[in-house]
Amino acid sequence: MSDMVRAKLSVDKEVDEVKHAIILAVYIVVCPVRVLQILLSLLKPLVSSRCSVTMNLLIFLAILLGPCQVQAKAVFAHFMVGNAANYSTSDWENDITLAQQVHIDAFALNIAYNDPTNDNSLLNAFLAAGSLGFKLFLSFDYAGNGPWPEADVVALIISYGTNSAYYQYNGQPLVSTFEGPASASDWTTIKQETSGCFFIPDWSSLGAEAALEPGVADGLFSWAAWPWGDQDMNTYTDASYLQFLNNLPYMMPAAPWFFTNLPGYNKNWLWRGDDLWYDRWQQILFVQPEFVEIISWNDYGESHYIGPLNDNAFAAFSIGDGPYNYAANMPHDGWRLFLPYVIDTYKNSIASISQEGLVSWYRLSPATACATGGTTGNTASQLQIEFEPYDIVQDRVFYSALLASSATVTVSIGGVVQTGTWENTPDGGIGIYHGSVPFNGNTGEVIVTIARSGTTVAQMIGESITTSCTNGITTWNAWVGSATASNDISATPSLTVSEQLCINGTGAYNFEGLCSFSCYYGYCPIGACTCTVMGAKKPLPSAISLQGYPIAGEDASYSGLCSFACNYGYCPPDACGTVSVQLATPTVSDFSPPACVAGTGEGNLAGLCSYSCNYGYCPIRAPCTCTGQGALITAPSSTGVTGYPLFNEDAATYGGLCNFACSTGYCPSAACSNIDQTCTNPVITDASTDPETRWNGVGCEMQMVSPSLRLSAIISTDQKAWIVVLLVITMVSTQDMRECHHTDKVVKAVIPTVNAQTLAFQLDI
């Protein structure tokens, strides 16, 4: 070997060693999976060279690898800790094992403030997770029992953040929330005192841009997992988050269903499920977020659980005054069947099929067979236009099949057989097929069969569809069943996700045609379109060298689509032209659904409905009637006043309207009051607590007292602008008032300041 060659090899070796050291330094700082992959590829040939420096690097790397959790994509499931109050450690172990089997990485533990079961539940959860090698992280619920005190959050993160079962993001404990943006300023201190927890809150009530403004979020989690009205799910909200996050981590939500009827929580609505579980996972594969959070594992009260039914976890139905337990005997386990395939595809860009299978879901009664139970489609509480639920959901049997090749599907309802169709098929034939058939007025046992060349691949025998309903109320929850093939197979798609393009898509409103054309040929901008199917690239049509532009009155959202589509021969005149014009600057998103901007009501509701509907709050059960739709008009700023219906008005009719109107400055005395006159909360009878403190937390007050009551009162006064008056009310008759749960009540009154004294007196009224 010549000296020149030796010199070159020596220089090359030194350069390589410097290169390896630099890479290692980067790894030490950020510990990302990509750098690890590079290191592994470099280290393999270096081991055989027996280079001493290289071996030292290897030893050092091995030491570092011990405590460092390499970060990659991950899938979590939202777990309601409050529903696990009666869980033993074995219950936790059972749920964790089921989650591990479907490749879920961690539970996001939703904990409400001041829930007395939190301590024991968290202890059992982390014991079980530690023994099974599973991960957990805290998700502080700021809506359930009110905001968390800063010190309590710090204490819990410090207590569990270093636990071996706690999920770490690049060495930092991951922490999330359900709402709580009003406490955003707390998180500067919380992050400092917890040595930098990695904070990904759900502040969906603000939207992505406003949620980032406080400067404390390291990423964002969106709760927008359900479609509006009778529309299918889209990715416009996801696109907004990605835009404003600007490469910060995005936690994308995925949910199969939503229905709740818990008047005790002021919740009674549904959002469209139907095709949602299939659609959302296709969208996840296209969007490729850093994290996915499934909503939920065990929220039975909102019907989006994918975990097992547990008779010890149904307290929400009694606490929330549900008309009945609409989760009992309504399993959703089938929705987990294909999770290993879609999660592995999401994480690794490809996955193999080892067993074919079938999942089917449907409601157990036609939508109009029984009473609605007061349920609405959409909810005015989120300023959405409300619909009757039967105008939102579809009377159909839905099915998805994981197959190695195409097959036929038939659906029998009460012995009436329909040949099904596949509305969505995987490009190349290997993957998940999806479709549905209508009830067509049929009732009875449901049987879904997948067959190939006359041989049954899988068959699901499900619950019967019936016109008989529990308590005469339609069950808007879904029944889910599944079946697997008897034989094992091995099939892998020919292309990875990263090698695929969008080959089918859609858009909202005026974008539908443009998106349908452009997405088919691989151009599917997420800010304007929703991709529905990915696959091999389609041959482009011949270009005609026609430059397209948005027409007058439209905005930049059309620019890329018009440029692409017009050049390939599709230039819809209601969206695109060939002359460049001044673009409009939108004040609201092109993709936002309409809001109510005008409405009416009958009798005493006329003023309330007219006012509230103008600002998007137009509840159809009040009843209010929306008479105008458009861009949402922002309501006046909150006055801080809570509104209640008058004593003789129906709370279900007036409650929401009075609260919305009074809180924004309109509180008509003929219908509403800022004082709660029902006074049924037992917390106020706890004389061991300071009365002012009680009243600040309870808000149970009386303004009007029936003449048939006799009151004894002790009035304590001091040098404040107002005082608390304790009235012990002894019931003589309940004919003139609603039934009270307690005869002893505490009532707050605001009166002028008087000289400090204590007065004891008896009032006859």
> How, if at all, do strands 576-577 and 595-601 pair?
unpaired
Q: What is the DSSP string of 59-99?
A: HHHHHHHTT---B--EEEEEEEGGGGTT--HHHHHHHHHHH
630 lies in the same domain as 695: no
Check pLDDT > 90 for residue 230: yes
Q: Residue 672 carries which DSSP code?
A: E
Averaged over 100-112, what is the pLDDT? 99
656 lies in the same domain as 686: no
Longest C-alpha distance within the chain, in Å?
A: 117
Q: Which two tokens stand for residue 624?
A: 């209010």
For residue 741, being part of any structural domain is answered with yes
678 or 357, which is more confident: 357
Check pLDDT > 80 for residue 9: no
Check pLDDT > 50 for residue 248: yes
Rounded to whole angstroms, how far apart are CA atoms 516 and 640? 47
Picking from 752, 724, 740, 765, the residue whose alpha carbon sits closest to that of residue 677 is 740
Rounded to whole angstroms, how far apart are CA atoms 491 and 483? 19
Rounded to whole angstroms, how far apart are CA atoms 155 and 193? 9
512 lies in the same domain as 563: yes
556 lies in the same domain as 612: no
Contact call for residues 155 and 148 (beta carbons, < 8 A): no
665 lies in the same domain as 687: no
447 or 740, which is more confident: 447
Rounded to whole angstroms, how far apart are CA atoms 318 and 525? 46
Rounded to whole angstroms, how far apart are CA atoms 142 and 149? 10
What do you get for the CA distance between the two ends of the chain, in Å?
A: 116
Burial 588-622 (b: 16+ CB within 10 A, else e): ebbbebbbbbbbebeeebebbbbbbbbbbbbbbbb
Residues 6+ apart with CB under 8 A from 664: 615, 635, 636, 637, 638, 639
State yes or no: cis peptide before 623, omega within 30 of 0: yes
Burial 244-272 (b: 16+ CB within 10 A, else e): bbeeebbbbbbbbbbbbbbbebebbbbbb
The pLDDT-based confidence of 680 (bands split at 50, 70, 90) is low
Rounded to whole angstroms, how far apart are CA atoms 311 and 328? 8
553 lies in the same domain as 608: no
Looking at residue 675, its pLDDT comes to 82
The mean pLDDT value of the chain amounts to 85
Least confident segment among 34-43, 371-380, 574-583, 642-651: 34-43
564 lies in the same domain as 634: no
Rounded to whole angstroms, how far apart are CA atoms 573 and 546? 14
User: Which one of 656, 673, 690 terminates a domain?
Assistant: 673
For residue 539, being part of any structural domain is answered with yes
Picking from 592, 414, 587, the residue whose alpha carbon sits closest to that of residue 508 is 592
- Walk across the sheet containing 258-262 and list its strands: 258-262, 267-271, 376-377
Q: Which two tokens stand for residue 138?
A: 């805290």
Q: Which two tokens stand for residue 190?
A: 């919380």
Domain assignment of residue 628, given as a range: 595-673
Rounded to whole angstroms, how far apart are CA atoms 616 and 635? 8
User: At residue 99, what are phi and psi to the nearest 5 degrees?
Assistant: -65, -40
User: At residue 242, what are phi and psi to the nearest 5 degrees?
Assistant: -60, -40
Residues 6+ apart with CB under 8 A from 406: 422, 425, 429, 433, 452
SS3 410: strand
Averaged over 427-439, what is the pLDDT? 98
Handedness of CA 572, 574, 575, 576 (dihedral sign): positive
Looking at residue 71, its pLDDT comes to 62
**Beta-bridge partners for 169:** 172
Averaged over 91-120, what is the pLDDT? 98
606 lies in the same domain as 660: yes
For residue 472, being part of any structural domain is answered with no
Contact call for residues 763 and 727 (beta carbons, < 8 A): no
Looking at residue 46, its pLDDT comes to 37
Check pLDDT > 60 for residue 466: yes
Rounded to whole angstroms, how far apart are CA atoms 401 and 407? 9
Averaged over 529-548, what is the pLDDT? 97
Rounded to whole angstroms, how far apart are CA atoms 170 and 29? 9
For residue 86, being part of any structural domain is answered with no
Check pLDDT > 80 for residue 678: no
664 lies in the same domain as 698: no
Rounded to whole angstroms, how far apart are CA atoms 664 and 685? 31
Burial 310-331 (b: 16+ CB within 10 A, else e): beebbebbeebebbebbbeebb
668 lies in the same domain as 729: no
Check pLDDT > 50 for residue 723: no
Contact call for residues 280 and 239 (beta carbons, < 8 A): no
For residue 505, being part of any structural domain is answered with yes
For residue 712, being part of any structural domain is answered with yes
For residue 550, being part of any structural domain is answered with yes
For residue 169, being part of any structural domain is answered with no
Q: Which two tokens stand for residue 560?
A: 């890329």
Q: What is the pLDDT of residues 298-310, one digit of tens each?
A: 999 999 999 999 9
Q: Which two tokens stand for residue 600?
A: 């009416």
For the chain, what percent of residues have pLDDT higher than 90? 76
Q: What is the pLDDT of residues 685-705, one digit of tens each?
A: 444 454 445 444 444 433 333
The pLDDT-based confidence of 166 (bands split at 50, 70, 90) is very high
Phi-psi region at 31: left, alpha or beta (left = phi > 0; alpha = psi -120 to 50): left
Q: What is the pLDDT of residues 710-722, one digit of tens each?
A: 233 333 333 333 3
Residue in the block written with tokens 């969007």: 287
Picking from 433, 379, 356, the residue whose alpha carbon sits closest to that of residue 229 is 379
699 lies in the same domain as 757: yes
The pLDDT-based confidence of 683 (bands split at 50, 70, 90) is low
Check pLDDT > 60 for residue 748: no
User: Which one of 643, 673, 703 terminates a domain?
Assistant: 673
Number of domains making up the chain: 4
3-state per-residue secondary structure call for 280-312 = HHHHHHHHCCCEEEECCCCCHHHCCCCCCCCHH
The pLDDT-based confidence of 674 (bands split at 50, 70, 90) is confident
User: Which one of 652, 673, 694 terminates a domain?
Assistant: 673
703 lies in the same domain as 755: yes
The pLDDT-based confidence of 743 (bands split at 50, 70, 90) is very low
